[in-house]
Amino acid sequence: MNATMEKFGWPATQVAQFAHWTVLARPAQPTLGALVLAAKSDATAFGDLPAEAHAELKIVTAAIEAALGRAVGYRRLNYLMLMMVDPHVHFHVIPRYEGAREWQGREFVDCGWPKVPDLGHAVALEGSDREELVQWLKGHFDQSDGSGASTRSA
């Protein structure tokens, strides 16, 4: 656990975890299903992560792509490693799609499509709405990823 994970709501926002990584529902959703993929390490440089963390990215990204494919039917998936304010190694995972997706009566429009994602335009979810989103996403991680392996949700 590190301060960056806490900033994004860990442990309440955790939808899946792996040996070196945790997957969090992003509290501000620029598109439906936006996640934070955070290293559990205190590393502040990508190259400082242990080799095992880099190797595990293959498993983690496959799980994310399968889960978000089921959840929102994205057209593209953007992994953004910004690390300007929050220093620990993490990616913002933004599902991209043309138009909008609806969830729980709310509309989530990809305002940046087909260009750079508009992170400033986001639906902020709090309280029970955020809890429902976390549970909904966990359900997609609990399903098989198509390779016969099950992803591990929190």
3-class secondary structure, 45: coil
**3-141 under CATH 3.30.530.20, yes or no:** no
Query: Does the pLDDT of residue 73 top 80, yes or no?
Result: yes
Share of the chain above pLDDT 90, in %: 91
In angstroms, the CA 21 to CA 14 distance is: 11
Q: What is the pLDDT of residues 128-149, one digit of tens each?
A: 999 999 999 999 998 854 443 4
The pLDDT of residue 151 is above 70: no
Domain residue spans in the chain? 3-141
pLDDT at residue 69 tops 80: yes
The pLDDT of 21-46, averaged and rounded, is 98
The confidence score (pLDDT) of residue 10 equals 98
Model pLDDT for residues 96-111, shown as the tens digit of each residue? 999 999 999 999 999 9
CA atoms within 13 A on the CB side of 18: 24
- Residue 66 phi, psi (nearest 5): -65, -45
Cα separation values, 123 from 18, 19, 24, 70, 140, Å: 27, 30, 16, 21, 20
**Is there a contact between 42 and 15 (Cβ–Cβ < 8 Å)?**
no
CA distance 34 to 122: 10
The residue count of the chain comes to 154
CA distance 9 to 128: 14
Q: Which residue has the tokens 């502040």?
A: 44
